[in-house]
Structure 1
């Protein structure tokens, strides 16, 4: 169920990638770079609202705020299908993102309610595996819907998916918050919860590191249509190329879930981050040697190598940031979610808006964000990487 909830958010982003040009043309948008705002506006709403859902779920439990968020998502999807202008579409997508934020915050809080340490990393890896499958199938679903009709049907499909999740959560999700962890919804209590999160060195710096790592994902998503369609001219093969990267990350997350219990989160994620940084640095050098237009096969091989390592970073970093904060899981999930969505979306938009007809801006962004994430991880661990703190982490 938690995987499905988080996948609902990924679906709202990736299903419309093949339709961005048609949506822009239908609503009179000439600049193709502005098509990215359909994704960015949703992600900004998704990120900002997470600051509210954490305290709400710490006060009222996980179930009620989650159902309320899903209802907002459902209504937002319906209105997206009937908006008359591009500006209105962006506003309603932002509103839809406000509702979707509940799926991210409360899903992670539910997992933290039930699990800790390496077990949480194992569960998060399985959730991430399902989450990564969505980019594999979502563009194909979007393309199929557009073959059957036009882009408006995409949003009706999202509304249907949201409605299904509303019923599933309503009838099948028990309340997972521990009674002793209920916190009052007062400014002082909220400030205290957020201070607890921000004053924890490990949680704070892992949150920032995760933000830069996830910035790579958002940079890829916003740039993918232009890179695959404009630079490499893949046409209808775009969903297949996109899916290959999703398959790689899903397989990597599955492997992580199988071995993290033996090796620990730090050994796996730190080693993968060093590898990711090295791979993207080499990739950038190759890209510059080709003037930003390397052969597609070489570009794609480097992409797969880098993104396989990504699958060992994201779920473990999420778990490492949440591990010390089980007693304020809602607030911790809020801040982690805000940084890794709103913050990452802004970072990703820098990559997307830097598109210049080559692959250089995207690869440069990957490398720079990886270097920054590595530096933040070193600070979090006081310079001692790949050292388990206890048998559970």
Structure 2
């Protein structure tokens, strides 16, 4: 090579891919969790009463769920990169719009639109990973992605609270816009197109509907999609009501960021552990065990929260344990549900993500609105969701848990 020749940029390795996919997905988490400490300020500033403040979170969830129907089909036709850049642009523009909102319902409308436009940030990363690997290896990679992704919910409320110390809640949306520019630049410079030309799908309404219908009707997959939607619906219920629950019920609003981060820490540890054990034991064995553990912990949470003198230091450890089990459930359920759909990974990811997000958003809003000043409605919801999720998994597995299934060739 002559001195004048520019050295080639090294290809994207597995570690960089994992970090980049995690950061793309983390934009969604930051757009939710950084807002949590500001919900009280937003409600008082705009005169929103009761539980209406939860709509700042719920509208984004709902928009992301509805919007998730569309990116996969376009990603299967035009490639992963163009669809990602569309989502990043929407995220940036609507972050600025939210920062400039002049009334509560305009803000809610912008949040709904932001969720719709940025839905590809949740859909496309899973399709990119499925383009490259499958089976338990995909579950391992998704666990590592989730582990990095979950660092954001730990630190985002702290960032939001820190911004509130020096500026108004509008600057939290400014921070979101800046983050999207940074991550977008990294994608532009380093992420190659992962869709193989032979796997490109036509933009045909019938083809799209058939592909999505297939992704949502296979018995061995759909139970895991609905099961994860139910489990994470209860998590969304906590997110919606967390500021009121921690700040008002337990009177610990000044420590909200620390308490919220402590609760999420269990999910980080669980995803790291899952990445180390899932290829050895299999995604089904690990996630089925975690789901049963989630059900049992929910029973204890119901007992604890039904007592009139439940303390914060009883509530948080139990919640953290429950969220840790979700760390074993999320990546594994998602990987199992995607296994049959390598050649339509984009459409399958869209359909499954959309169903999970819409179900989770509606369920989370319902659970959040049940808030009555105690943790009991949340605990009962967690127990109900865990029972229903177990029934759905049993449906997909034809009544047999803990099986080891060989699968996962990327091509």
Q: Smaller-chain TM-score range? A: over 0.9
Cα separation, partners in 2 of 1:75 and 1:341, compared to 1, 3 Å: same
1:158-307 equivalences under 5 Å are 158-288=176-306, 290-291=307-308, 293-307=309-323
Counterpart-to-counterpart distance in 2, 1:55 and 1:392:
22
1:235 Cα offset (Å): 2.1
1:311 and 2:330 matched: no
Q: Deviations over 1:119-177 (max 9, x none)?
A: 10000001111121111100000001111111111111101111112222122110001
Contact residue 264 and residue 392 of structure 1 kept, 8 A: no
Secondary structure of the corresponding residue to residue 312 of structure 1: helix
1:217 Cα offset (Å): 1.4
1:118-137 equivalences under 5 Å are 118-137=136-155
1:11 and 2:27 matched: no
1:392 Cα offset (Å): 5.7
Contact residue 233 and residue 361 of structure 2 kept, 8 A: yes
1:255 Cα offset (Å): 0.4
1:286 Cα offset (Å): 2.8
Q: Deviations over 1:201-242 (max 9, x none)?
A: 112111111110110210110111111011100021111010
Counterpart-to-counterpart distance in 1, 2:148 and 2:131:
20
Secondary structure of the corresponding residue to residue 277 of structure 2: helix
1:20 to 18, 39, 64: 39
Q: Which runs of 5+ in 1 are unaligned?
A: none
1:384 to 400, 403, 407: 400
Counterpart-to-counterpart distance in 1, 2:118 and 2:404:
34
Secondary structure of the corresponding residue to residue 368 of structure 1: helix
Q: RMSD across aligned C-alpha pairs, in angstroms?
A: 1.2
1:40-55 equivalences under 5 Å are 40-55=58-73
1:100 Cα offset (Å): 1.9
2:380 is aligned to 364
Counterpart-to-counterpart distance in 1, 2:229 and 2:323:
16
Counterpart-to-counterpart distance in 2, 1:339 and 1:65:
20
1:46 Cα offset (Å): 0.8
Counterpart-to-counterpart distance in 1, 2:404 and 2:332:
13
Counterpart-to-counterpart distance in 2, 1:104 and 1:392:
22
1:330 is aligned to 346
1:373 and 2:392 matched: no
Counterpart-to-counterpart distance in 1, 2:285 and 2:335:
13
Counterpart-to-counterpart distance in 2, 1:216 and 1:287:
15
1:345-360 equivalences under 5 Å are 345-360=361-376
2:158 is aligned to 140
Q: Which runs of 5+ in 2 are unaligned?
A: 1-19
Contact residue 270 and residue 327 of structure 2 kept, 8 A: yes
Contact residue 47 and residue 337 of structure 1 kept, 8 A: yes
1:32 and 2:50 matched: yes
Secondary structure of the corresponding residue to residue 249 of structure 1: helix
1:262 Cα offset (Å): 0.4
Q: Which moved more, 1:77-86 or 1:301-310?
A: 301-310
Contact residue 73 and residue 98 of structure 1 kept, 8 A: no
1:198 Cα offset (Å): 2.2
1:282 Cα offset (Å): 2.3
Secondary structure of the corresponding residue to residue 156 of structure 2: helix
1:349 Cα offset (Å): 0.8
1:276 Cα offset (Å): 0.6
Q: Which moved more, 1:305-314 or 1:44-53?
A: 305-314
Counterpart-to-counterpart distance in 2, 1:76 and 1:392:
38
Counterpart-to-counterpart distance in 2, 1:149 and 1:275:
42
1:284 Cα offset (Å): 0.7
> What is the number of equivalent residue pairs in this alignment?
390
1:49 Cα offset (Å): 0.7
Q: Which moved more, 1:298-307 or 1:325-334?
A: 298-307
Counterpart-to-counterpart distance in 1, 2:316 and 2:45:
32
